[in-house]
Chains A and B, each alone.
Chain A
Amino acid sequence: MFENLLVQGLSGLASASSLFLVASGLTVIFGVTRIVNFAHGSLYMLGAYLAWTLVTNLPRGHFGFWGGVLAAALIVGVVGVLIEVLLLRRIYKAPELFQLLATFGVVLIVQDLALMIWGPQDLLGPRAPGLRGATEILGVRFPLYELFLIFVGPVVLGLLWLLFHRTRWGTRVRAATADREMVGALGVNQRLLFTTVFFLGACLAGLGGALQLPRESVNLQMDLAIIAEAFVVVVIGGLGSLPGAFLAALLIGQMQAFGILIFPKITLVLAFLVMAVVLILRPYGLLGRPPASAHAAQVVEPPYPPPSPAFRALGLATVAVALLLPPFLGDFALIVFTEIAIMVLFAASLHFIMGPGGMASFGHAAYFGLGAYGAALLVKHVAAPMEIGLLAAPFAAGLAGVVFGWFCVRLSGVYAAMLTLAFAQIAWSAAFQWVELTGGDNGILGVWPSDWARNKLAYYYLALLLCLGATLLLRRAIMAPFGYALRAGRDSPLRAEAIGMDGFRIRWVAFILAAVAAGIAGGLFAYAKGSVFPTYMAIPRSVDALLMVLLGGVQTLSGPIVGALAYTWIHEQLMRLFELWRLLLGAVILLLVLFFPQGLAGAAQRAAEKRA
Chain B
Amino acid sequence: MLEVEGLHAHYGRAHILQGVTLSAAQGEVVALLGRNGAGKSTTMKAIMGLVRPTGGRVRFQGQDVTGREPFEIARQGLGYVPEERRIFTELTVMENLDVGRQPPRAGLAPWTPERVFALFPSLGAMRARPGGRMSGGEQQMLTIARTLMGNPRLILLDEPSEGLAPVIVERMAAAILELKREGITVLLSEQNLHFARLVSDRACVLEKGAIRWEGTLAALMEAEEVRAQYLSV
Per-residue CB contact flags for chain B residues 138-164 toward chain A (1 = under 8 Å, else 0) read: 000000001100100000000000000
Question: Is there an interface contact between B69 and A186, defined as CB atoms closer than 8 Å?
Answer: no
Question: Is there an interface contact between A185 and B98, defined as CB atoms closer than 8 Å?
Answer: no
Instruction: Tell me which of A1-9, A176-184, A435-443, A583-591 binds B.
Output: A176-184
Q: A168-B98, A172-B99, A294-B84 are in contact. Are A186 and B150 (CB under 8 A)?
A: yes
Is B193's CB within 8 Å of the partner chain A? no
The docked-state distance in angstroms from the alpha carbon of A294 to that of B83 is 13
Closest partner residue, chain B, to A189 (CB atom): B71
Residues of B within 8 A of A182 (CB): 82, 86, 88
The docked-state distance in angstroms from the alpha carbon of A175 to that of B97 is 11
Question: Is there an interface contact between B91 and A184, defined as CB atoms closer than 8 Å?
Answer: no
Question: Is there an interface contact between B90 and A178, defined as CB atoms closer than 8 Å?
Answer: yes
Is A310's CB within 8 Å of the partner chain B? no
Is B34's CB within 8 Å of the partner chain A? no
- From residue B130, how far is it (CB to closest CB) to chain A in Å? 11
Central interface residue in A179, A188, A191, by most chain B CB within 10 Å: A188
- From residue B184, how far is it (CB to closest CB) to chain A in Å? 16
Question: Is there an interface contact between B150 and A171, defined as CB atoms closer than 8 Å?
Answer: no
Residues of A within 8 A of B82 (CB): 182, 185
Closest partner residue, chain A, to B86 (CB atom): A182
Residues of A within 8 A of B69 (CB): 184, 189, 191
Interface size class of A (residues with CB under 8 A): 20 to 34
Central interface residue in A168, A186, A187, A189, by most chain B CB within 10 Å: A187
Closest partner residue, chain B, to A172 (CB atom): B99
Is B95's CB within 8 Å of the partner chain A? yes
- From residue B80, how far is it (CB to closest CB) to chain A in Å? 5
**Which residues of B96-118 have CB atoms within 8 Å of chain A's CB atoms?**
96, 98-100, 102
Is B203's CB within 8 Å of the partner chain A? no
- From residue A190, how far is it (CB to closest CB) to chain B in Å? 7
Of A179, A187, A188, the residue contacting B86 (CB under 8 A) is A179
Question: Is there an interface contact between A174 and B71, defined as CB atoms closer than 8 Å?
Answer: no
Residues of A within 8 A of B91 (CB): 171, 174-175, 178
Question: Is there an interface contact between A188 and B71, defined as CB atoms closer than 8 Å?
Answer: yes
Is A295's CB within 8 Å of the partner chain B? yes
Is B75's CB within 8 Å of the partner chain A? yes
Closest partner residue, chain B, to A184 (CB atom): B70
Question: Is there an interface contact between B71 and A190, defined as CB atoms closer than 8 Å?
Answer: yes
Question: Is there an interface contact between B147 and A186, defined as CB atoms closer than 8 Å?
Answer: yes
Question: Is there an interface contact between B74 and A185, defined as CB atoms closer than 8 Å?
Answer: yes
Closest partner residue, chain A, to B103 (CB atom): A187
Is A292's CB within 8 Å of the partner chain B? yes
Question: Is there an interface contact between B50 and A188, defined as CB atoms closer than 8 Å?
Answer: no
Central interface residue in A172, A175, A294, A295, by most chain B CB within 10 Å: A175
Q: A182-B82, A189-B71, A190-B71 are in contact. Are A175 and B89 (CB under 8 A)?
A: no
Question: Is there an interface contact between A187 and B84, defined as CB atoms closer than 8 Å?
Answer: no
Question: Is there an interface contact between B89 and A187, defined as CB atoms closer than 8 Å?
Answer: no
- From residue A163, how far is it (CB to closest CB) to chain B in Å? 15
- From residue A336, how far is it (CB to closest CB) to chain B in Å? 40
Residues of A within 8 A of B88 (CB): 174-175, 178-179, 182
- From residue A94, how far is it (CB to closest CB) to chain B in Å? 16
Question: Is there an interface contact between A186 and B84, defined as CB atoms closer than 8 Å?
Answer: no
Q: A185-B80, A294-B84 are in contact. Are A171 and B89 (CB under 8 A)?
A: no
Question: Is there an interface contact between A186 and B99, defined as CB atoms closer than 8 Å?
Answer: yes
- From residue A280, how far is it (CB to closest CB) to chain B in Å? 26
Question: Is there an interface contact between A186 and B89, defined as CB atoms closer than 8 Å?
Answer: no
The docked-state distance in angstroms from the alpha carbon of A273 to that of B88 is 35
Question: Is there an interface contact between A181 and B98, defined as CB atoms closer than 8 Å?
Answer: no
Question: Is there an interface contact between B74 and A171, defined as CB atoms closer than 8 Å?
Answer: no
The docked-state distance in angstroms from the alpha carbon of A86 to that of B82 is 31
Central interface residue in B69, B70, B74, by most chain A CB within 10 Å: B70
The docked-state distance in angstroms from the alpha carbon of A184 to that of B70 is 6
The docked-state distance in angstroms from the alpha carbon of A179 to that of B99 is 12
- From residue B160, how far is it (CB to closest CB) to chain A in Å? 16
The docked-state distance in angstroms from the alpha carbon of A424 to that of B214 is 63
Q: A168-B98, A171-B98, A294-B84 are in contact. Are A184 and B90 (CB under 8 A)?
A: no
- From residue B35, how far is it (CB to closest CB) to chain A in Å? 22
Residues of A within 8 A of B2 (CB): none
Is B48's CB within 8 Å of the partner chain A? yes
The docked-state distance in angstroms from the alpha carbon of A177 to that of B90 is 10
Closest partner residue, chain B, to A177 (CB atom): B90
The docked-state distance in angstroms from the alpha carbon of A189 to that of B68 is 12
Question: Is there an interface contact between B90 and A181, defined as CB atoms closer than 8 Å?
Answer: no
Closest partner residue, chain B, to A182 (CB atom): B86
Residues of B within 8 A of A179 (CB): 86, 88
The docked-state distance in angstroms from the alpha carbon of A182 to that of B86 is 7
Question: Is there an interface contact between B74 and A186, defined as CB atoms closer than 8 Å?
Answer: yes
Residues of A within 8 A of B90 (CB): 174, 177-178
* 20 extra A-B contacts, CB within 8 A, seeds A178-B91, A188-B71: A171-B91, A171-B95, A172-B99, A175-B88, A175-B96, A178-B88, A181-B70, A183-B99, A184-B50, A184-B69, A185-B80, A186-B71, A186-B74, A186-B99, A186-B150, A187-B74, A187-B100, A190-B71, A191-B69, A294-B84
Between-chain CB contacts (< 8 Å), 13 pairs? A171-B95, A175-B91, A178-B90, A179-B86, A184-B50, A184-B70, A184-B74, A185-B71, A185-B82, A186-B74, A187-B74, A187-B100, A187-B102
Q: Across the A-B interface, give the 10 residue pairs with the lowest CB-CB distance, nearest first.
A: A187-B74, A184-B70, A175-B99, A175-B88, A185-B80, A182-B86, A186-B100, A185-B70, A184-B71, A189-B71
Give chain B's interface residues, CB within 8 Å of chain A: 48, 50, 69-71, 74-75, 80, 82, 84, 86, 88-91, 95-96, 98-100, 102, 146-147, 150
